[in-house]
Structure 1
Amino acid sequence: MHTDTQGQDLTDPENVRFYLLSGLAHGVGEINDKGDGQQYTNPVAPYAAHRALLVALDEWVTKGYFSS
């Protein structure tokens, strides 16, 4: 994500932000559900983080505020 084809680090542009919400699935699952997989589904809902990031994005675009 941040390297060139030779594996060298790239400089992040000033007008770009990267966020990593690790361990989250595409949706919320039951704590005791493995579905078709080997591991249990993560029951943590990502919606609070999504909402906060959307507010931050809106403030960045409309007001010029941004978090580092």
Structure 2
Amino acid sequence: MHPMLNIAVRAARAAGNVISLNFEDHQNVSAEEKAKNDLVTNVDRECEKVIKDILLKSYPKHCVKGEEFG
């Protein structure tokens, strides 16, 4: 597999782990409305941060644009 693809798969799996850890315990999940009919949870933000951190660790000169943090 291509090295970039390996990093992307690693980032996706790490975000999946964050989701799995929070799936059973709904008390740890908080949601807020970003805009009308547009909710975001702390889990959404944590997943995006995990993905970004993994990508930038391997490719520090790359730019990452996300839905929650821009």
Q: Structure 2-normalised TM-score?
A: 0.30
Q: Structure 1-normalised TM-score?
A: 0.31
Computing the radius of gyration from Cα coordinates, the structure with the larger value is 1
- Higher relative helix content: 2
Higher RCO, 1 vs 2 (CA within 8 Å, ≥6 residues apart): 2
